[in-house]
A and B are shown apart, each in its own frame.
Chain A
Amino acid sequence: MLAFIARRIVYMLVTLVAISVMTFFIIQLPPGDYVTAMVAQLNLQGTTVDPAEMAALRARYGLDDPLPVQYWKWISNIVFAGDFGFSLQWRRPVADLLWNRLGLTFVLALVTLLFIWAISLPIGIYTAVRKNTVGDYLATFIGVIGLAIPNFLFALVLMYISFKYFDTGIGGLFSPEYENAPWSLGKLLDLGSHLIIPTIVLGTSGTAALIRILRANLLDELAKPYVTTARAYGVSERKLLLKYPVRVALNPFISTVGWVLPTLVSGATITAVVLNLPMTGPLLLQALISQDMYLAGSFIMMLSALTVVGTLLSDLLLAWLDPRIRYT
């Protein structure tokens, strides 16, 4: 088991290095750099910038160095000093922007994951055990609708409903009065009530998918001889269902840990914009447009790191759950 974990951690480090190199170079691929983007912006506003000034800016930000040197400066600061650099656009340390957004994204991802699990586990088991009944068809119908409705549309509808009937604030993760307040119980409750809509919106498609996966897996497992064995030895139906086939069919649940985070980050950008959520998606998009390379690079780096860690976690959980994985 220890060897398994050690091996996985080595793979993880290699993956992270590869990702860091790739992100850095891909961010640099578009022609021009941050200064070009900034100057273009200023030109639009009617201000001209002296080429000498541009060169000075470039020199100051180290944009003239060869790519490997820039990469090394960036990555060595992160690894050795925990310094993610300076956002050129926001004129603030990247770390400030990063942790705030990343923290909220992480909270939302966790809540969404719990939401997906809590809804899809009982419904998935129900639809498999009561196959082809009215309840099964109803759950399937709702699930397919959940998969088919675009998230941003769903977000708009839910926002409208919550505004019209529940009189809660629209969008954002905090009410205005708590926006800049220090953490307190009130702020936490406020965050909780604001998390409901994003969680439902972001969790629906995942829930629908997981219900289908669990149903299909469980139907396979229910027909396996070991279920008959348990029944033939007098184990009660409920206990036998939960102890044997559900346990075996649970693997995809654990795997969701690995993919919920990246989906939320990359797939939820539109939803985050619609719901005005202070998540990573919109900020990353902004950073990429303005070629704010340290901000964008750090974001992608951190998200990849979290994804890789999530995958490792889900693998460890799987190994704990399923001895066949542990021993091979």
Chain B
Amino acid sequence: MIPPMQTAPLLRIRGLKTQFALREGLVRAVDGVDLDAHAGKTLCIVGESGSGKSMIARSILQIVSPPGRVTDGEMVFQRTGREPVDLAKLDPAGKPVRAIRGRDIAMIFQEPMNSLSPVHSIGDQLIEKILLHHRLSRHAAIDRAVEALGRVGIPDPRQRLSNYPFELSGGMRQRVMIAMALACRPALLIADEPTTALDVTTQANILDLIAELQAEYGMGVIFITHDLGVVAEIAHEVAVVYLGQVVERGSVDDIFYNPQHPYTLALLSSIPKLGARRKRGQRLHSIKGMVPHPFNRPKGCPFHTRCPEARPGLCNLEDPRKLELNEGHIVACHMRDPAVLTQAAEVTV
């Protein structure tokens, strides 16, 4: 489905590591992640709670809260008309990265209830962000804010400017967040579970809105979610994350029609489907056990403690290598590695 990419991706992440040096030990929240986000395409990052999805997003903008910090890897971001920049090398509190935040890469968050300051009006917060990145008069900034609010479907945008977040519904607040993200025309939009806290109808509206705006502005979108239904609907590419590592990534067709990693398979079989399975007397699958605590991160493949195919002596000892099965479809699993399988066959013979 995805044509081979001739141009460099908008954001190319290689070997990204984000770690928290806590008194209890080192938490490897993001552990050697490779991702590519392309302009005009949607990359979905899926995984359970605690898998490090949000940490990847925060690492891109260098807003991981201390003591966490990006310790290794590179995140090369292509800016139109300017030199590409490696976000991983930038100082989290420095000016260069602040100029990119909100301007080139914008982010919307999970909790629309708390993501806006409760004591500042919407207009105040929107205009502040616009003036931060653009040399505009206050008047022009107000017009731009009104335009952005109108674009995301907020009625009477000019009147809304003086409203406070608590006067709006959850869906409206998320629209305001999207308007804030759009106001500076970013090249990349990171949406960190933007629909999780909303009811299903509002969810659908927000997803449609993001897709529409993406088509209109040609933004790249990184969409973080745990909802595979949402992934199927909006993704061009998918990355499945487990314990801070990308266990499988590929096009949406690769992931849904030709899933390889046991974790991906397990995730897909845990989607409830109306009627279909009950007819055959099947129960809904769940993945056994819990995501291991980050302090007791398993050695070898992170998923081996819950994996039905895990082979003792291999999966619990050695890290699987990242194997490219076909163009852009990459899986990190010993049991899909031809080298390992032939070796194993030789041993049994």
| A in complex with B | yes
**What are the residues of chain B within 8 A of A230 when measuring CB–CB?**
117
Of all chain B residues, the one with the shortest Cβ separation from A224 is B114
Selected from B99, B107, B117, the residue in CB contact (under 8 A) with A232 is B107
What 1/0 mask marks residues of chain A from 230 to 249 whose CB sits below 8 Å from any chain B CB?
11111111000001100110
Is the Cβ of A228 less than 8 Å from the Cβ of B101? no
User: Does any Cβ of B come within 8 Å of A65's Cβ?
Assistant: no
What 1/0 mask marks residues of chain A from 300 to 321 whose CB sits below 8 Å from any chain B CB?
0000000000000000000001
Is the Cβ of B101 less than 8 Å from the Cβ of A233? yes
Is the Cβ of A228 less than 8 Å from the Cβ of B102? no
Selected from B98, B115, B119, B121, the residue in CB contact (under 8 A) with A248 is B119
Interface SS of A by simple majority: helix
Selected from B100, B114, B177, the residue in CB contact (under 8 A) with A234 is B100
**What are the residues of chain A within 8 A of B133 when measuring CB–CB?**
234
State A228–B133 Cα separation when bound (angstroms).
Answer: 18
Of all chain B residues, the one with the shortest Cβ separation from A250 is B119
**What are the residues of chain B within 8 A of A248 when measuring CB–CB?**
117-119
Q: A231-B101, A233-B101, A234-B102 are in contact. Are A225 and B164 (CB under 8 A)?
A: no
Selected from A224, A232, A237, A322, the residue in CB contact (under 8 A) with B61 is A232
User: Does any Cβ of A come within 8 Å of B222's Cβ?
Assistant: no
Is the Cβ of B164 less than 8 Å from the Cβ of A232? no
Shortest distance between the CB of A178 and any CB in chain B (Å)? 46
- Interface hub of A224, A228, A234, A324 (most chain B Cβ within 10 A): A234
Of all chain B residues, the one with the shortest Cβ separation from A326 is B164
Selected from A228, A244, A322, the residue in CB contact (under 8 A) with B63 is A228
Is the Cβ of A327 less than 8 Å from the Cβ of B164? yes
Is the Cβ of B98 less than 8 Å from the Cβ of A234? yes
Is the Cβ of A234 less than 8 Å from the Cβ of B101? yes
What 1/0 mask marks residues of chain B from 95 to 112 whose CB sits below 8 Å from any chain A CB?
000111111001101110
User: Does any Cβ of A come within 8 Å of B132's Cβ?
Assistant: yes
**What are the residues of chain A within 8 A of B100 when measuring CB–CB?**
234
Q: A225-B114, A229-B109, A323-B164 are in contact. Are A234 and B119 (CB under 8 A)?
A: no
Q: A234-B101, A237-B93 are in contact. Are A229 and B119 (CB under 8 A)?
A: no
State A226–B114 Cα separation when bound (angstroms).
Answer: 6
Is the Cβ of B119 less than 8 Å from the Cβ of A321? yes
Q: A323-B164, A327-B164 are in contact. Are A233 and B118 (CB under 8 A)?
A: no
Number of interface residues of B (CB under 8 A): 33
State A234–B128 Cα separation when bound (angstroms).
Answer: 10
User: Does any Cβ of A come within 8 Å of B167's Cβ?
Assistant: yes
What 1/0 mask marks residues of chain A from 33 to 44 whose CB sits below 8 Å from any chain B CB?
000000000000
**What are the residues of chain A within 8 A of B98 when measuring CB–CB?**
234-236
Q: A232-B63, A324-B164 are in contact. Are A244 and B102 (CB under 8 A)?
A: no
Shortest distance between the CB of A44 and any CB in chain B (Å)? 62
Shortest distance between the CB of B100 and any CB in chain A (Å)? 7
**What are the residues of chain A within 8 A of B217 when measuring CB–CB?**
none
State A224–B121 Cα separation when bound (angstroms).
Answer: 17
Is the Cβ of A233 less than 8 Å from the Cβ of B102? yes
State A171–B208 Cα separation when bound (angstroms).
Answer: 74
**What are the residues of chain A within 8 A of B121 when measuring CB–CB?**
323
User: Does any Cβ of A come within 8 Å of B330's Cβ?
Assistant: no
Q: A248-B117, A323-B164 are in contact. Are A235 and B93 (CB under 8 A)?
A: no
User: Does any Cβ of A come within 8 Å of B116's Cβ?
Assistant: yes
Shortest distance between the CB of B67 and any CB in chain A (Å)? 11
Apart from A234-B102, A235-B132, A237-B93, what are 18 other A-B pairs with CB-CB below 8 Å? A224-B114, A226-B114, A226-B115, A228-B63, A228-B65, A228-B115, A229-B177, A231-B101, A232-B101, A233-B102, A233-B106, A234-B99, A244-B117, A247-B120, A323-B119, A324-B118, A324-B119, A327-B167
Which residues of B line the A interface, CB within 8 A? 58, 61, 63, 65, 93, 98-103, 106-107, 109-111, 114-121, 128-129, 132-133, 164, 166-167, 177, 180
5 contacts between A and B (CB under 8 A): A226-B114, A233-B129, A235-B129, A236-B98, A323-B166
Closest 9 CB pairs of A and B: A233-B102, A234-B101, A234-B98, A234-B102, A225-B114, A226-B117, A225-B115, A232-B107, A233-B129
